[in-house]
Structure 1
């Protein structure tokens, strides 16, 4: 029985990818070291191998024990700030780990790969819409490792015929179910939730950007749509050969920080006027995806609204923080 190996499939995004593939009738095996993921995120009928992609012995066992058709690699250290403080740790896991995984795939004769990349590879693009041809200039070690990962996949494509699709995520939030929400407070949505729960006003980092309301504009995408993009990519690779493609995964529409906070207060029932603080170094004014290539070539489109995204994230937050609901 042919299966897809989802590396990092017990984590926040990975578990949504596994759910989307499993629900669509795909056979899936998960490899995860559970450092940030959790066993309960993996469906009962999906095999879970606890291990790290840096472990050649574990990888050899996975490929020997299962008829792996292809690999979805979501394993990475992802915290941008941490990558500045601990660059070697990020390079070790994100680059060396991926190299070890590619070598194991080559030995096992597995030639299909979906790689989890990031819009952070672009850095501070000065364009209205970011296309896949927009020059990449990552501003953090994390972004650098994601771009190097794309290069590794491209090298494997040319050297031994690896079919590769890189998916560059934009700003991900939301959940398919309350227990699947991201437990970490790493992006704007949970950061605002945290402030509202504590009875504090949300923060806006700068309101003097060259945008309609002066606050940064971003492309926000529901994690369930990220997951369906992976499903579309795996099915495309099953039918096609000689593939080496990179796609943005976003709504294709921008929302300002102030607008998103307004959506969050509407959904949560909290009323709190945000306070404006100083800009954060390195924040570009606007980063919005051109998502037409993935729509055209893979037949994928984002189906969830920003309200859906915020509401699902709020349900998960309240599951862990019952005191967050307004009286």
Structure 2
């Protein structure tokens, strides 16, 4: 049987496919290519171009590829965009997840891993934030994902399905072997800074807010390397195969870096200071988000390999150099 990876041509989905392939697993990628790219999917893995909200297409995939398990990444993930286009987020994240779950129930799927987010916590009262913290989303993105979590929980209870929901924090970096990374317009600090550091963007780095109640005034985030995140999903799959009960877990390193600390990491890696400018705070951004990761370390025996901000930055820079060469060759 095969593992279906939705959003398999996207940033995290492509790394998940690499992890599955490296582990000798049979996998199938599904993506509508709205933001992903077919060339990101590893060679030898079947690819299906379809929307996760297309119930008929999903039924065909389950039937044609003997799917036994699903890892669900497909969706929209930008807080600021969700504030401008909330209905799109409820459609892409909540409604489409419900459609996928209907297809899973119809196909008899019993194991499901859901890619969620720390944005469901909103602005937490305590940091590090544990899985027991109140769900108080402050953006349509976070709200759409918390709704999807509840729908999954109810569907699993009713239809004898087991699941792991991983709420991850700020995913960054790229495959250390250079096989995958993030493409497209930068949507977070590290990718934007990597492009600026390489001269791919002729502008100063924008720092959104320097008046937060943090030690240096800039927002603090728990940056987790994308390959470590993929390994957490592999561990979650193993738990479900061993009859482990359904569970929701944070996925982060349990420590945070401020924006200024990330800028300093770029200086250490490149040997050059980075020009930046202070911009107003962005709506929907909490002052800090750091994971309490005790549960995932215990339950999944997750042991991150790349818990180092300089390494994360280096892999991001290496990837941008590689993508720049690819685009240059294509031109």
TM-score past 0.5 threshold: yes
**Structure 1 unaligned spans of 5+:** 323-327
Question: For the Cα contact (< 8 Å) 1:178–1:313, is it kept in 2?
Answer: no
- Partners in 2 of 1:148 and 1:116 — Cα distance? 13
Match of 1:240 among 240, 243, 254: 243
Q: Tell me which residue corresponds to 2:100.
A: 101
Q: Tell me which residue corresponds to 1:111.
A: 110
**For each residue in 1:121-140, what CA deviation from the matched residue of structure 2 results, as whole angstroms up to 9, or x when unmatched?**
11111212110011111111
- Partners in 1 of 2:157 and 2:179 — Cα distance? 41
Q: Tell me which residue corresponds to 1:265.
A: 267
Q: Tell me which residue corresponds to 1:140.
A: 139
Match of 1:211 among 214, 223, 231: 214
**Structure 2 unaligned spans of 5+:** 326-331
Question: For the Cα contact (< 8 Å) 2:221–2:256, is it kept in 1?
Answer: yes
Question: For the Cα contact (< 8 Å) 2:195–2:317, is it kept in 1?
Answer: no
Question: For the Cα contact (< 8 Å) 1:153–1:162, is it kept in 2?
Answer: no
Cα-Cα RMSD: 1.6
TM-score, length-normalised on structure 2? 0.92
- Partners in 1 of 2:95 and 2:203 — Cα distance? 42
Q: Tell me which residue corresponds to 2:328.
A: none
TM-score, length-normalised on structure 1? 0.93
Shift of 1:317: 1.4
- Partners in 1 of 2:285 and 2:27 — Cα distance? 38
Aligned-partner SS, 2:163: strand
Superposition map of 1:188-199 within 5 A: 188-196=189-197, 197=199, 198=201
**For each residue in 1:42-76, what CA deviation from the matched residue of structure 2 results, as whole angstroms up to 9, or x when unmatched?**
22211111111111111111111222221001010
- Partners in 1 of 2:166 and 2:135 — Cα distance? 14
Shift of 1:96: 1.4
The 1:321/1:68 distance shift into structure 2, 3 A limit, reads closer
Match of 1:312 among 305, 312, 315: 315
- Partners in 2 of 1:165 and 1:267 — Cα distance? 36
The 1:283/1:79 distance shift into structure 2, 3 A limit, reads closer
Q: Tell me which residue corresponds to 1:325.
A: none
Aligned-partner SS, 1:180: coil
Question: For the Cα contact (< 8 Å) 1:268–1:314, is it kept in 2?
Answer: no
- Partners in 2 of 1:143 and 1:277 — Cα distance? 23
- Partners in 2 of 1:57 and 1:278 — Cα distance? 45
- Partners in 1 of 2:132 and 2:158 — Cα distance? 23
- Partners in 2 of 1:80 and 1:208 — Cα distance? 20
The 1:53/1:273 distance shift into structure 2, 3 A limit, reads closer
How many corresponding residue pairs? 320
Question: For the Cα contact (< 8 Å) 2:156–2:162, is it kept in 1?
Answer: yes
- Partners in 1 of 2:26 and 2:91 — Cα distance? 30
Q: Tell me which residue corresponds to 2:182.
A: 182
- Partners in 2 of 1:142 and 1:277 — Cα distance? 22
**For each residue in 1:238-295, what CA deviation from the matched residue of structure 2 results, as whole angstroms up to 9, or x when unmatched?**
1115x22111111111111111110012212332353333333343222100111011
Shift of 1:199: 5.2
The 1:128/1:26 distance shift into structure 2, 3 A limit, reads same
